[in-house]
Amino acid sequence: MRRVTLTQFLIEQQRAGRITADLRLLIEVVARAVKAISVNVSKGALAGVLGEAGTDNVQGEAQKKLDVIANEILLQANEWGGHLAAMASEEVETVHQIPFDYPKGGFLLLFDPLDGSSNIDVNISVGTIFSVLRNPPGGEQPNEDSFLQPGREQVAAGYAVYGPSTQFVLTVGQGVHAFTLDREMGSFIYTHPFMTIPEETREYAINASNARFWEKPVQRYIDELQQGKTGPRGVDFNMRWVASMVSDVHRILTRGGIFMYPMDDKCRDKGGKLRLMYEANPMAMLVEQAGGAASTGRERILDVQPRELHQRVPVILGSRAEVERVTEYHRET
């Protein structure tokens, strides 16, 4: 059986006219950075990379050592290639400009360098999320406004999950494709073509400890699921929660389900829990490309017009029928 590498896959996409050479090279650079992050994650305590970094990120959250390491790997890997006009990281307050002595390209890269980093010290899967936008015309020196494009404008999005194996999941607007890292070869091998989310599911993922803070539509929906066979749904549902968005969404892309971090009274003043530009938009693009749906409960995530670089939003995504049901409950309320 012929083994197709990520590079071969991307070249085929380029030959078919689906991506440009610059976008292909940009994705390859991101994938190489993912390999370096994977090595650091896999070494854990052996490399002294566990524990707190002693600093806070722009959201005021304590950074792990690996948060800082992953962020630096991605910044340094992508600075010099000539494919980017600028970058933005969940860990950094302002836009990261390309050094003046490097060539610039036509794309903008956004990333969450290490999603789910609270799981690092207990050896549970974490990941990296990224999103690619075009630099607007006339944006020779990109600023924050250059990045404030709705998610439907993304030209590519993906994530890496660092689990029992490292997988790189990607969309360039033509379905969702996953690649598994062959550590001996040092290459990502095409293992999961055209991942598809089942329209219906019996699994859901939500932080149940926040139940007392949920809005009425979410309380109604979860209550129906918990009633199981004796309730209005007539079937039993299972709850799964990893507390790493990458891991939870990867499960949904693999076998279906619904993931929710809805608006609640704890995060209402912030607009939500998850970041629109670094988490919600790229994951929404992937989920929609796999046949699912992604909503804030009030509107399609990919239609949200960003107001600021670190904006937060509610997130409800996964199997289409379930997302539409929760959205309908919000409309009724």
Tell which residue, 209, 201, 197, has the closest CA to residue 233: 201
Token readout for 130 is 């990224």
The C-alpha atoms of residue 174 and residue 103 are separated, in whole angstroms, by 29
> For the chain, how far is it from start to end, CA to CA, in angstroms?
54
- Say if residue 74 carries a ligand binding annotation: no
- Say if residue 279 carries a ligand binding annotation: yes
Class of residue 220 by CB neighbours under 10 A (exposed 0-12, middle 13-18, buried 19+)? middle
Q: How many residues does the chain have?
A: 333
- Say if residue 121 carries a ligand binding annotation: no
* Neighbouring residues of 288: CB distance < 8 A, sequence distance ≥ 6: 294, 302
- Say if residue 112 carries a ligand binding annotation: yes
Tell which residue, 229, 257, 236, 231, has the closest CA to residue 245: 257
- Say if residue 203 carries a ligand binding annotation: no
- Say if residue 264 carries a ligand binding annotation: no
The C-alpha atoms of residue 27 and residue 209 are separated, in whole angstroms, by 37
Strand-pairing partners, residue 131, are 110, 157
- Say if residue 244 carries a ligand binding annotation: no
Strand-pairing partners, residue 167, are 161, 180
Pairing state between β 84-89 and 107-115: parallel
Token readout for 332 is 């009724």
- Say if residue 78 carries a ligand binding annotation: no
- Say if residue 46 carries a ligand binding annotation: no
- Say if residue 223 carries a ligand binding annotation: no
Q: Angle at which helices 6-15 and 21-43 pack, to 10 degrees? A: 160
The C-alpha atoms of residue 332 and residue 319 are separated, in whole angstroms, by 20
Count Cβ atoms below 10 Å from residue 183 Cβ, excluding itself.
Answer: 13
CA dist list (Å): 286 to 119, 126, 176, 281: 23, 18, 6, 9
Residue ranges of the annotated binding site for Mg(2+) are 90, 112, 114-115, 279
Indicate the annotated binding residues for substrate: 115-118, 207, 273
Annotated binding site: 90, 112, 114-118, 207, 273, 279
